[in-house]
């Protein structure tokens, strides 16, 4: 019997087990519609009963373009050219709907957390963190929207004009999240878009669909008909017609720049499309010769290998000053070798199976490509694997002909390169097509200070003596070059899904009386000076 894949069903702690989840419907126009067409079966790479094919988790609809367009019709009806119930509802009421949704969502925590563990092989603490962080994101978004609304809940008087300036929704948002944070990253666009009055069509990632099932009922229960709708299936089949229709107003997509470019290019009026994109990254760490070595090693291990390196913010290449290269490698390799490999519910597990066998295969090919071109695997267990559980692999002797040198690996392989002049890693970052984040480790204020200025014009977050990361969610999260479009944070997201809009009237006694009456009688949700408590 292998170490990581036990045939013993009893080894699954009951609190982390899941029941088969057959999702046979899709959410459209406020109802879950039964799907009788083809379905996609979901197998977990967390293999217990069947290490060959994985455990059967359930299935979901493989919709076609015809149904996708029906979903679009339902969304258009809910938007109704901006006249729908949800887009014209006042902010206070919208907040209440989202609050009630979140309350019910929390009741489904265990089921969602467990499905995260089985569908994408995320460890129990990380799955729990993803859930809690998402709920907190919703609550912080509500607070931020209240603040925004309070600041706009008054008329201003400028050059004899009364005006009320608010942010209005844009229309129909197509939300597509990634498999590595199928709940959190999807909700960091879905929730701000929803709460600001937009209509949502939501397509979960290929891996990470079933965990959303309990939420479909809640979307139907807490929001007016057609406010949130879902589609499933092959993107070319179900997303292409939506984009081609020209009726998607916002594309919120986390994935590859190649796919983002294709999707954007399908829209017949690209100037009408707002894009909020989280794309590839190749975040570099630079370790100077005076760095606190143990801290740098710890941050680089967690930065490059948390959730098997499947984070857009992961450190994906490490540059170490030649003077300390050997010492760094010794500590780094020793730390990497100690990372516990296993199944998501095991105590202290750090490395779990890759959820998609195709990704595990891709990583294996990236390592072979490097080795074939002269790279060395530096750690004793590097390059080994069991099923889709890939042992973390540290590679050195990297040159620019290797895929690992420039491609986003999104898996447990870490290239480490020595440098002599700081211009070497800086040139790498300048030449990189990506510009999300970087980390610099060192103690010399002058050297660090001088490095900050060129790098902040290359990446959007520079981390000093710490790994790259997205959080806290109140901070801006974005990227330059091929890494992102639009900025997300609790407050920035509310802006990105809305447009500044105002009602203005010349200052005359007639207009003053008119405005007063609209305000006193609450004839408008937009022109409204109520304070949200
Ligand atoms: O994959 C990208 C995630 O948003 C990473 O978030 O840096 O907080 O783990 P994190």
Query: Which tens digits make up the pLDDT trace of 138-162?
Result: 999 999 999 999 999 999 999 999 9
Distance 152 CA to ligand 1 centre (A): 32
H or E, element range at 157: strand 156-158
* Cβ(471) – ligand 1 distance below 6 Å: yes
2 pLDDT above the threshold of 50: no
CB atoms inside a 10 Å sphere around CB 489? 21
Please tell me if the CB atom of residue 380 comes closer than 6 angstroms to any atom of ligand 1. no
User: How many other C-beta atoms can be found within 10 angstroms of the C-beta atom of residue 1?
Assistant: 7
45 CB under 6 A from ligand 1?
A: no
The SS3 call for residue 31 is strand
Has residue 1 got a pLDDT over 50?
no
274 in ligand 1 pocket by Cβ < 6 Å?
Answer: no
Residue 273 alpha carbon to ligand 1 centre in Å: 26
Domains and CATH numbers, the chain: 26-36+64-152+168-278 (3.40.605.10), 283-479 (3.40.309.10)
CA of 253 from ligand 1 middle (Å) equals 15
Report which protein residue has its CA nearest ligand 1's atom 6. 470
Tell me the pLDDT band of 10, cut-offs 50, 70 and 90: low
Q: What is the pLDDT of residues 185-232, one digit of tens each?
A: 999 999 999 999 999 999 999 999 999 999 999 999 999 999 999 999
469 lines ligand 1 (CB under 6 A): yes
Q: Which residues contact 247 (CB under 8 A, 6 or more apart)?
A: 72, 76, 172
180 lines ligand 1 (CB under 6 A): yes
CA 220–ligand 1 middle distance (angstroms) = 29
Contact (CB, 8 A) for 296 and 441? yes
Q: Which atom of ligand 1 is nearest to the CA of 314?
A: 7
This model's pTM is above 0.75: yes
Residue 396 and residue 370: Cα distance in Å, rounded?
Answer: 9
pLDDT one-digit tens code per residue, 316-348: 999 999 999 999 999 999 999 999 999 999 999
Helix (H) or strand (E) holding 396: strand 393-396
Q: Is the CB of 181 inside a 6 Å radius of any atom of ligand 1?
A: yes
pLDDT tens-digit map of 250-283: 999 999 999 999 999 999 999 999 999 999 999 9
pLDDT digits (tens, 9 = 90+) for 16-33: 999 999 999 999 999 999
Distance CA 182, CA 176 (A): 9
């Amino acid at each position: 019997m292998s170490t990581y894949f036990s045939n013993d069903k009893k080894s699954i702690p009951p609190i982390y087990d899941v029941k088969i989840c057959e999702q046979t419907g899709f959410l459209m126009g406020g109802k879950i519609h039964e799907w009788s067409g083809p379905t996609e079966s979901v197998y977990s790479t967390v293999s217990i009963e069947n290490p060959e094919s994985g455990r059967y988790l359930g299935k979901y609809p493989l919709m076609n373009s015809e149904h996708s367009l029906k979903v679009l019709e339902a969304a258009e009806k809910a938007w109704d050219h901006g006249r729908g119930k949800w887009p014209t509802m006042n902010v206070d009421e919208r907040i209440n709907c989202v609050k009630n949704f979140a309350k019910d969502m929390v009741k489904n925590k265990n089921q969602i957390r467990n499905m995260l563990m089985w569908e994408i092989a995320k460890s129990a603490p990380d799955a729990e963190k993803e859930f809690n962080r998402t709920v907190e994101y919703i609550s912080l978004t509500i607070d931020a929207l209240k603040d925004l609304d309070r600041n706009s809940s008054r008329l201003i008087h400028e050059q004899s004009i009364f005006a009320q300036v608010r942010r209005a929704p844009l229309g129909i948002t197509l939300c597509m999240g990634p498999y590595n944070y199928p709940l959190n990253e999807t909700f960091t666009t879905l929730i701000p878009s929803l709460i600001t009055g937009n209509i949502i069509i939501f397509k979960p990632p290929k891996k990470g669909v079933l965990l959303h099932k309990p939420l479909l009922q809640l979307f139907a229960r807490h929001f007016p008909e057609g406010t949130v709708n879902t589609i499933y299936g092959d993107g070319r089949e179900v997303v292409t017609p939506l984009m081609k229709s020209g009726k998607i107003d916002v594309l919120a997509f986390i994935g590859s720049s190649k796919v983002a470019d294709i999707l954007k290019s399908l829209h017949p009026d690209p100037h009408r499309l707002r894009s909020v994109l989280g794309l590839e990254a190749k975040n570099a760490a630079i370790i100077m010769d005076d760095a606190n070595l143990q801290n740098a090693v710890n941050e680089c291990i967690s930065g490059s290998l948390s959730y098997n390196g499947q984070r857009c913010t992961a450190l994906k290449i490490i540059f170490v000053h030649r003077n300390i290269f050997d010492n760094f490698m010794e500590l780094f390799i020793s730390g990497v070798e100690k990372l516990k490999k296993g199944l998501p519910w095991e105590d202290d597990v750090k490395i779990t199976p890759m959820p998609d066998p195709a990704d595990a295969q891709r990583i294996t090919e990236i390592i072979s490509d490097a080795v074939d071109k002269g790279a060395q695997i530096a750690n004793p267990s590097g390059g080994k694997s069991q099923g889709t559980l890939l042992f973390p692999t540290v590679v050195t002797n990297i040159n620019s002909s290797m895929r690992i040198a420039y491609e986003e690996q999104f898996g447990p392989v870490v290239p480490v390169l020595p440098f002599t002049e700081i211009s070497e890693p800086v040139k790498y970052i300048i030449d990189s097509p990506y510009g999300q984040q970087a980390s610099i480790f060192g103690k010399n204020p002058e050297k660090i200070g001088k490095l900050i200025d060129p790098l902040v014009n290359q990446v959007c977050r520079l981390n000093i003596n710490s790994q790259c990361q997205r959080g806290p969610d109140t901070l801006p999260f974005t990227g330059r070059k091929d890494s992102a479009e639009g900025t997300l944070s609790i407050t920035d997201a509310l802006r990105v899904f809305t447009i500044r809009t105002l009602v203005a009237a010349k200052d005359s006694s007639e207009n003053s009386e008119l405005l007063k009456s609209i305000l006193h009688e609450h004839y408008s949700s937009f022109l409204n000076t109520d304070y949200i408590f």
